[in-house]
A and B are shown apart, each in its own frame.
Chain A
Amino acid sequence: MTTTCRWEAAESPGSSSGTTTPPPAPERGSGAAVRSRRRRGWALLIVAAIVVSAVAAGIGREQVIKSEGAGSLLDFFAAAASPRLDTEFLALTGTAMLTTLAYAVLGTALSLVIGLIGGVLSSQAWWESGVRARRGRRLAGWGFARAVLVVPRGIHEVVWGLFFLVVFGIDPIVAVLAIGIPFGAVTAKVFSELLDETGRKPYSALLAAGASKRSAVLYGLLPPALPDLLSYGFYRFECAIRSAAILGLVGAGGLGFQLALSFQTLRYQEIWTLLFALILLSVAADYWSSLVRSARARGRRRSRDGGGVRRDPLLTASLVFGAVLIALSVWWVGLDIAVLWSGKAWEFGIQLLSEAWPPSVGDTGVGGLIMLAGVTLAMSIVAITIAFALGALFAIPASTPAHGRDHIERGVLARVARKTAMLGSRFVLVVLRAIPPPVWALLLLFVMYPGILPGAIALAVYTTGVLGRLMAESVDNLDARPLRAIRATGASASQVFCYGVIPAAAPRFVAYGLYRWEVTIRETVVVGVVGAGGLGLLLDHQIGSFNYAGALTTLATLILLTLAVDFTSAAIRRSVR
């Protein structure tokens, strides 16, 4: 499980280096006063932003609770005990599950191909080699490759999905491209950082012997970096399952699609069957991916300690299994890539683009657009605030800090209670993150009027699941020595917690919180499309009413907003470090 933090951090757009988890670096004395002043400044600003966002989201101002919906929500949860389990519906659920799985598998496979090629092309190693010192051209090439990857990364899978639905109609290629392109761009960034950390000597030795750059990369750079790329691919697969389910909601088929149908007809028992299937699929993917990645992390530690590089049998077996899954997935969804160059799709695509250009502000006006951007921002801030608090709350029982592991704890009863609390909170976190935000939003709309708040809460619930796990892992990985030292003074467990765990873990919690904020602002689109408001809702309306010129403007606004959030988050993280 330990590698998750690594990857999560590696993926975050603002982090300065790919693989460092964001622990606080020891700071130098001279800048300490400035830093602490800056930190206080940020803290004030954050509190102010949260208050403003809460007001903007309508907390305590509008009527948000739909009291008449409470009954149906109760009915809904009561139905959990009796999901629809007849053969016919189970067969349907199984089919949908396989489709979602197949989309996730194929999307991940595509993202790995894009990531591999894009990663090489956007690595410094690729551009900084050769006899002649043409610094300008190298920097330009590298910068261009990086810039090309920014846009696909900034656009959410669902937006890609809506776009490809227009171009290809209902076709399996929609989900595969919608997952593969943005995931591929993220993978490319992570992979380029991996490549640049790999020792470059063997690579330049090959170049010195006259090998072409392509061959030298193939022999000298890829073999050391490939296992890490593949194990990262398994992490992306875990995310791809959830994305595939969300894409189903917007019409791409699979579990999400069935969920949407059952929600429309309010068949609670069917919804539960489908939700259980989704949770099952997510948990299985989670488990597989963390198994592969923790084996890889052990191998990495061993080779760092001078134990040599070893083959990883689990990774090899998983790869073979993955290859079989890819073949089966192609067959199952009937993927036919010939549609990519079919004249009709091109015609639709070009028509769509020509209608979208030039972008227009539409009937909302610039002011309306700015207001919606503000509302979207407020939604993300409320969501991350709630998720941060709840995540930290769950992370505490879900973790086993190092000092507790080798310590004989009180009595048997206390140990059993502790273990139960740990397993219980881990289970809650798994369920929270297994169900994608739009499904949470649909559930909340039973008891709440559509608006910013249900969207924010839906995002918060899901993010709690992710953040809680990341936080628990960072507590697990704390340096045990200071904790033992405090314990040795005779301090109680709660005192150790206050004096040892919280101060050490807090900066990481903040770093993860900020990183998830960057993800959350992107995900506002997803709850937007089910009616939670903000730019996502506007975008959905515009695409639904064929107003592509307006949609392009909204999309551009969204990307700008995303970049602004990335930038702010990176700035805060720098001052926390």
Chain B
Amino acid sequence: MSSPIFALNDVGVSYGKNTALAGVDLTVHPGERVAIIGPSGAGKSTLIGVLNGTVAATSGEVTALGCDYRRAPAREIRRSQHRIGTIHQRFDLVEQLRTVHNVNAGRLGSWPFWKAALSLLLPRDVQRVRAALDRVGIGDKLHHRTGDLSGGEQQRVAIARVLVQDPVMILADEPVASIDPARGREIMSLLLELSAEAGVTLLACLHDVEMALGSFERVVGLRAGQIAFDKKRADLTDDEVDALYAFERATDPR
């Protein structure tokens, strides 16, 4: 088997007394499609943060694309990060910028500062941006202010940003949770289609269990910061999935 994209070894994250993740072991190989499911507060977003390097692990080892986040020099970490694209639940786009700049922001990791600054005045590589926007179905929004677009359109901009970033790995943190269900399904299938087309590895956190079970080959269950199961879809039973959420029902005071 080829070398893994991510290798997490006994990883823990805690904020003061609160533990967000504990003893997580996870390996992701190229070409896999992994869904992370679990109740809210289980640590799904923290896990995404650990993988893309925005959350520092307080214990254990995180290796992404062969780069050890705890020891590698900053420059090398950035190079790895640039090969990992992330799609966020709240889009996290810069609403004040035009769409073209928000998409081009995916290339900041490969552009020198002067080129990034110049591009804000005279947009660079517009052809490539237009192609990406066409691919996600909003080619006509090139010069719109991002904040004026609808939620679904903004998530498409975020996907276009990841497309121009041209990563080997896409992380999606609840990509459709802030969008109405019909648009959400469209966007989810777009994401699956694009990652299959480009041969990119995909890891998504999903609150919607049906969606996860329907489209991903490997499912990881997360509960209270720990991995409850990590199985092929085919080997997963309904009871195991129910247990994941039953736990929440039993302890949640609401």
In the complex, are the beta carbons of A131 and B53 less than 8 A apart? yes
- On chain B, the residues within 8 Å of A216 by CB distance are 108
Chain A residues lying within 8 Å of B96, measured Cβ to Cβ, are: 223-224, 226, 309
Closest to B62 in A: A131
Q: Does B246 contact A (CB under 8 A)?
A: no
Contact, CB under 8 Å: B108 / A209 = yes
Q: Check: A208 CB closer than 8 A to any chain B CB.
A: yes
Q: Mark B92-113, 1 if CB is under 8 A from A, else 0.
A: 1111110001000110110101
Q: B116 near A: Cβ within 8 Å?
A: yes
Asked if residues B94 and A202 are in contact (CB atoms below 8 Å), the reply is yes
Question: How far is A216 from B106 in the complex, measured between Cα atoms in Å?
Answer: 10
Q: A215-B113, A308-B147 are in contact. Are A205 and B92 (CB under 8 A)?
A: yes
**A405 contacts the other chain (Cβ, under 8 Å)?**
no
Determine whether A220 belongs to the interface, using a CB cutoff of 8 Å to chain B.
yes
Name the contact of B56 in the complex, choosing from A131, A218, A311 (C-beta under 8 A): A131
Is B95 touching A206 in the complex (CB atoms < 8 A)?
no
Within 8 A of B (CB), among A122-175: 130-133
Of A201, A207, A214, A215, which is within 8 A of B88 by CB?
A201
A103-132 residues with Cβ-Cβ distance < 8 A to B are 130-132
- Which residues of chain A have C-beta atoms less than 8 A from B77's C-beta? 131
How many angstroms between the C-alpha atoms of A262 and B22 in the bound complex? Answer: 78
Q: How far is the CB of B106 from chain A (nearest CB, A)?
A: 6
The 8 Å CB contact of B78, one of A201, A204, A210, A226, is A210
| A131/B54 contact (C-beta < 8 A), A211-B105, A211-B109, A212-B108 known | yes
Q: Are B83 and A223 in contact (CB under 8 A)?
A: no
Residue of A nearest to B83 (CB): A210
A567 at the interface (CB under 8 A from B): no
Residues of B within 8 A of A311 (CB): 145
Interface string of B55-96 (1 = CB under 8 A from A): 010100000000001100010011111111110101011111
Q: Is the CB of B105 within 8 A of A308?
A: no
A209 with B94: in contact, given A132-B56, A215-B108 (CB under 8 Å)?
Answer: no
B54 and A204 form a contact (CB under 8 A)? yes
A132 to B82, CA, bound (A): 17
Bound complex: CA of A132 vs CA of B101, how far in Å?
28
For the complex, is B196 an interface residue (Cβ under 8 Å from A)? no
| B70 contacts A209, C-beta separation under 8 Å | no
Q: Does A223 lie within 8 Å of B94, measured CB to CB?
A: yes
- B209 within 8 A of partner (CB): no
CB neighbours of A211 from chain B (8 A):
78, 82, 105, 108-109
Residues of B within 8 A of A223 (CB): 94, 96-97
B52 interfacial contact with A, CB 8 Å: yes
Q: Within 8 Å of chain A (Cβ to Cβ): is B201?
A: no
| Interchain nearest-CB distance for B116 vs A (Å) | 4
What residues of A have a CB within 8 angstroms of the CB of B85 in the complex?
209
Please tell me if the beta carbons of B113 and A219 are within 8 angstroms of each other in the complex. Answer: no
Chain A residues near B109 (CB, 8 Å)? Answer: 209-212
Q: Which residues in B have their C-beta under 8 angstroms from that of A210? A: 78-84, 108-109
Complex Cα–Cα for A214 and B114 (A) = 10
B72 — nearest CB in chain A belongs to which residue?
Answer: A131
Q: Which of B52, B78, B165 contacts A212 (CB 8 A)?
A: B78
Residues in B with CB closer than 8 Å to A220 are 94, 105
Contact B88 A205 (CB under 8 A): yes
Would you call A219 and B105 a contact (CB within 8 A)?
yes
CA gap between A130 and B54 in the complex, in Å = 6
User: Assuming A215-B113, A219-B116, A308-B148, is B53 touching A208 (CB within 8 A)?
Assistant: yes
Interchain CA distance A142-B15 in the complex, whole Å: 22
Contact residues in A for B106 (Cβ distance below 8 Å) = 209
Q: Is the CB of A224 within 8 A of B94?
A: yes
B122 within 8 A of A: no
Q: Which residues of B contact A207 (CB under 8 A)?
A: 54, 81
Closest A residue to B113 by beta carbon equals: A214
| A131, closest chain B residue (CB) | B53
Question: Is the C-beta of B117 less than 8 angstroms from some C-beta in chain A?
Answer: yes
List, in ascending order, chain A residues with CB within 8 A of B161's CB.
Answer: 209
Distance between B70 CB and nearest chain A CB, rounded to angstroms: 7
Let me know if B120 is at the binding interface, CB within 8 A.
yes
A positions within 8 Å CB-CB of B: 130-133, 201-202, 204-212, 214-216, 218-220, 223-224, 226, 308-309, 311
**Can you sample 18 A-B contacts with CB below 8 Å?**
A131-B69, A201-B90, A205-B92, A208-B54, A208-B81, A209-B85, A209-B161, A209-B165, A210-B108, A211-B105, A212-B78, A212-B108, A212-B109, A215-B108, A218-B120, A219-B105, A223-B97, A224-B96
5 nearest interchain CB pairs? Answer: A210-B82, A210-B109, A211-B108, A210-B81, A205-B92
